[in-house]
Amino acid sequence: MTSELFSPLSLRSGHVLANRIAKAAMEEHLAEDGQVPGRHLRELYQRWAEGGTGLLITGNVMVHAEALTGPAGVVLDEAALLKPFAEWAEAGKSGGGSVWMQINHPGRQVQSGMPGVVWGPSEVGVDLGRHSGRFGRPAAMTPDQIDATVTRFAVTARRAEEAGFDGVEIHAAHGYLLSQFLSPLVNTRTDAWGGSLENRARMLLDVVRAVRGAVSPSCGVGVKLNSADFQRGGFDADDARRVIGMLEPLGVDLVELSGGSYESPAMTGRPAETRQDDRTQAREAYFLDLAQDLARTSPVPLMLTGGITRRETAEAVLDGGVALVGMGTALTVTPDLPERWRRGHEAEARMRPVTWSDKALASAASMAQVRHQMRRIAHSQAPRPGTHPARALLCEQVRQRRALRHYRTWLTTRRTGATPTATDPSAQGEHAGQ
């Protein structure tokens, strides 16, 4: 078992991962002025690189400077300085493993009050009940805006490889833009991008083709996909199976399986009452049953992310036919967990559970807790998993307000310094949905 966990994995592109353990993407919100990575992201990834993972996948790097999930997000587009990204990649590879950049567009999942655009496949906003006002109201994307966004993904992928990243992961899960197009609940279009699953998958497939064509054959290309949205009438496991089949001919190396969205935040964990038996592997690995079922027919190697904290569970994931084990929260509490497993040890602490009845608020607090640990590591401090979720959430809100001022200034400067031309498709309706 252990030998497989620490055995290399050869990918279709020819790239070889040192072992079967990956640090899954978690949005760090640690961009420095100019929306670029700086010393804190370098410190964080160097710490993880030293911890023994075979693959580090960065948190969201946005392909569109006008569309960020939050004001402290990293942006890599045609105008971004490449040196900070090259330094980030170097830090991520310093331990001998590989580093991939997750590339993303938030679509409608943009905080209200943010400058820029709020786009979606349709004018269907995020429904969080009384918390719905946390997000902007989306404008349905035009065909020109869709085409321009596909191009943006390709540009970001090309520049990521130029900066030294070993691969990219296209985010099509968790309710972000490409996931929104896949969802029949969010995508109510009646044109070429709506209706059948083939049409709803069109934008994702176009992005994958464009990215694969923009990078070298040896550059890894992965896709993060929901195994299910966990919403009645939404994207489900059968849809996931069919989309994986569509991705295989396009040269995808790896499909990472997760689940949920801001409306149904399965990716942040299940309620405490469903996880009382800590010995039950399926309850620790949230999407294990779905992943094992998909692995039986998948023509592409699969990676499973969601709640894995113990080596026994990681080994069970591999035994189920999944090729790669992804961990997020566990590595913010114990950055060297893979090395501990290699030596026969386990983590000594776990994140304080959030047991609030308000699911939307609990999800936000859980993510704030995770980012609190990442900030501590980035500042060369030890993780503090016992931090109260309310404190983590309050501190994050204060930091977000400060970051928003910087982002507004930066974006205003960018707009005045580079006006899109009339022939640029992105110039049409660029600020729709503000």
The two structure tokens encoding residue 236: 């489900």
Q: How many CA atoms lie within 13 A of 75 on its CB side?
A: 22
pLDDT reported for residue 226 = 87
* Nearest-angstrom CA–CA distance, 87 and 20: 25
* Nearest-angstrom CA–CA distance, 228 and 238: 9
Task: Give exposure, 63-91, as e/b (b: 16+ Cβ within 10 Å).
Answer: bbbbbbbbbbbbbbbeebeeebbebbbbb
CB atoms within 10 A of CB 394: 13
CB atoms within 10 A of CB 283: 16
> 9-10 and 16-17: which strand pairing?
antiparallel
Q: Which residues of the chain have pLDDT under 50?
A: 1-2, 266-283, 419-434
* Nearest-angstrom CA–CA distance, 53 and 145: 38
> 61-62 and 74-75: which strand pairing?
parallel
Report the predicted TM-score, pTM, of the whole model to 2 decimal places.
Answer: 0.90
pLDDT reported for residue 227 = 80
Q: What is the 3-state secondary structure (H, E, C) of 96-141?
A: CCEEEEEEECCCCCCECCCCCCCEECCCCCCCCHHHHHHECCCEEC
Contact between residue 16 and residue 254 where contact means Cβ atoms under 8 Å apart: no
* Nearest-angstrom CA–CA distance, 219 and 231: 35
First to last CA, the chain: 52
Residue ranges per domain, the chain? 2-417
DSSP conformation class of 323: S
* Nearest-angstrom CA–CA distance, 46 and 44: 6
pLDDT reported for residue 262 = 62
pLDDT reported for residue 287 = 73
Inter-axis angle of helices 39-49 and 359-378, to 10 degrees?
90
pLDDT reported for residue 263 = 58
pLDDT reported for residue 358 = 87
CATH class of 2-417: alpha beta
* Nearest-angstrom CA–CA distance, 52 and 23: 10
Choose among 17, 3, 87, 7: nearest CA to 56.
Answer: 17
CB atoms within 10 A of CB 39: 15
Cα separations in angstroms, 91 against 56, 127, 141, 337, 424: 11, 39, 37, 18, 36
pLDDT reported for residue 288 = 80
Coil/strand/helix, residue 325: strand
pLDDT reported for residue 423 = 35
Look at the block and give the residue holding tokens 């972000």.
176
* Dihedrals phi, psi of 258, to nearest 5 degrees: -140, -150
Q: What is the pLDDT of residues 308-327, one digit of tens each?
A: 999 999 999 999 999 999 99
pLDDT reported for residue 306 = 81
Q: How many CA atoms lie within 13 A of 284 on its CB side?
A: 22
